[in-house]
Amino acid sequence: MSVKSCLPRLLASKALLTFCLLGLMPSSPVQAEFNLPSLGDTSAGIMSREQEYQLGRAWLGMLRGAVATKDDPLLKDYVERHVYQLAETSQLVDRRLAFVVVDSPQLNAFAAPGGIVGINGGLFLHAHTEGEFASVMAHELAHLSQRHFSRNLEQQQRMRVPLMTAMLASIVIAAAGGGDAGFAALASTQAAAIQEQRRFSRQNEQEADRIGIQNLYQAGYDPRAMPDMFERLARNSRFDRTPPEFLLTHPVTQSRISDSRNRAEQLARNNGRRDSQEYQMLRARVQLRYETNPGVAIRRFQAQLDEHEGEHAPARYGLTLAKMRASQFDEAEQALQPLLAQHGDVLIVRLAEVELLRLQGRSSAALAIVDQLLENRPDNYPLMQSKIDLLLHEQRYAEAERLSDRLASQRSDDPDFWYMAAEIRGLAENITGLHMARAEYFMLAGDLDQADEQLKLAHRRVSDNFVMRSRVEARQEHLARLREVLKSF
Ligand SMILES: [Zn+2]
Instruction: Give the Cα separation of 233 and 246 in Å (integer).
Output: 10
Residue 432 lies in a domain: yes
Instruction: Say what angle helices 431-444 and 448-461 make with each other, to 10 degrees.
Output: 160
Mean pLDDT computed over 463-488 = 80
Tell whether 373 and 412 lie within a shared domain: no
Residue 350 lies in a domain: yes
Residue 56 lies in a domain: yes
Residue 279 lies in a domain: no
Instruction: Write down which residue in 213, 232, 267 finishes a domain.
Output: 267
Is-contact 99 83, C-beta < 8 A? Answer: yes
Is-contact 448 21, C-beta < 8 A? Answer: yes
Residue 259 C-alpha to ligand 1 middle, in angstroms? 15
Tell whether 28 and 149 lie within a shared domain: yes
Residue 155 C-alpha to ligand 1 middle, in angstroms? 18
Tell whether 158 and 250 lie within a shared domain: yes
Residue 282 lies in a domain: no
Residue 434 C-alpha to ligand 1 middle, in angstroms? 41
Tell whether 294 and 256 lie within a shared domain: no
Tell whether 54 and 172 lie within a shared domain: yes
Evaluate if residue 12 carries a pLDDT over 60: no
pLDDT band, very low/low/confident/very high, at 148 (cuts 50, 70, 90):
confident
Mean pLDDT computed over 165-189 = 48
Residue 149 C-alpha to ligand 1 middle, in angstroms? 11
pLDDT value of position 270: 67
Residue 152 C-alpha to ligand 1 middle, in angstroms? 13
pLDDT band, very low/low/confident/very high, at 178 (cuts 50, 70, 90):
very low
Residue 280 C-alpha to ligand 1 middle, in angstroms? 25
Tell whether 191 and 250 lie within a shared domain: yes
Tell whether 18 and 126 lie within a shared domain: yes
Residue 123 C-alpha to ligand 1 middle, in angstroms? 14
Instruction: Say what angle helices 415-427 and 397-411 make with each other, to 10 degrees.
Output: 160
Specify the number of domains making up the chain.
3
Instruction: Give the Cα separation of 109 and 81 in Å (integer).
Output: 17
Residue 205 C-alpha to ligand 1 middle, in angstroms? 5
pLDDT value of position 251: 76
Is-contact 338 316, C-beta < 8 A? Answer: yes
pLDDT band, very low/low/confident/very high, at 256 (cuts 50, 70, 90):
confident
Residue 452 C-alpha to ligand 1 middle, in angstroms? 38
Residue 469 lies in a domain: yes
Residue 272 lies in a domain: no
Average pLDDT in the chain:
81
Domain holding 316, by residue range, is 290-388
Residue 73 C-alpha to ligand 1 middle, in angstroms? 27
Residue 204 C-alpha to ligand 1 middle, in angstroms? 7
Q: Please give the residue that has the higher pLDDT: either 48 or 336.
A: 336
Mean pLDDT computed over 5-11 = 34
pTM of the model: 0.83
CATH of the domain at 411: 1.25.40
Tell whether 363 and 413 lie within a shared domain: no
Evaluate if residue 131 carries a pLDDT over 70: yes
pLDDT value of position 111: 87
Residue 229 C-alpha to ligand 1 middle, in angstroms? 14
pLDDT band, very low/low/confident/very high, at 252 (cuts 50, 70, 90):
confident
Instruction: Report how far apart, in Å, the C-alpha atoms of 467 and of each of 452, 463, 470 are.
Output: 20, 10, 5
CATH of the domain at 328: 1.25.40.10
Residue 398 C-alpha to ligand 1 middle, in angstroms? 47
Residue 111 C-alpha to ligand 1 middle, in angstroms? 8
Mean pLDDT computed over 288-295 = 92
Residue 112 C-alpha to ligand 1 middle, in angstroms? 11
Mean pLDDT computed over 146-166 = 65
Residue 311 lies in a domain: yes
Secondary structure letter of residue 185 according to DSSP:
T
pLDDT value of position 322: 97
Instruction: Write down which residue in 329, 364, 388 finishes a domain.
Output: 388
Tell whether 33 and 70 lie within a shared domain: yes
Residue 249 C-alpha to ligand 1 middle, in angstroms? 7
Instruction: Write down which residue in 359, 388, 417 finishes a domain.
Output: 388
If one counts every other C-beta atom within 10 angstroms of the C-beta of residue 116, the result is: 23
Tell whether 34 and 180 lie within a shared domain: yes
Tell whether 347 and 484 lie within a shared domain: no
Instruction: Report how far apart, in Å, the C-alpha atoms of 340 and of each of 258, 303, 353 are.
Output: 43, 20, 8
Tell whether 380 and 402 lie within a shared domain: no
If one counts every other C-beta atom within 10 angstroms of the C-beta of residue 73, the result is: 22
pLDDT band, very low/low/confident/very high, at 290 (cuts 50, 70, 90):
very high
The region of weakest confidence among 35-44, 51-60, 282-291, 367-376 is 35-44
Instruction: Say what angle helices 202-218 and 130-145 make with each other, to 10 degrees.
Output: 120
Residue 243 C-alpha to ligand 1 middle, in angstroms? 16
Evaluate if residue 196 carries a pLDDT over 90: no
Evaluate if residue 297 carries a pLDDT over 50: yes
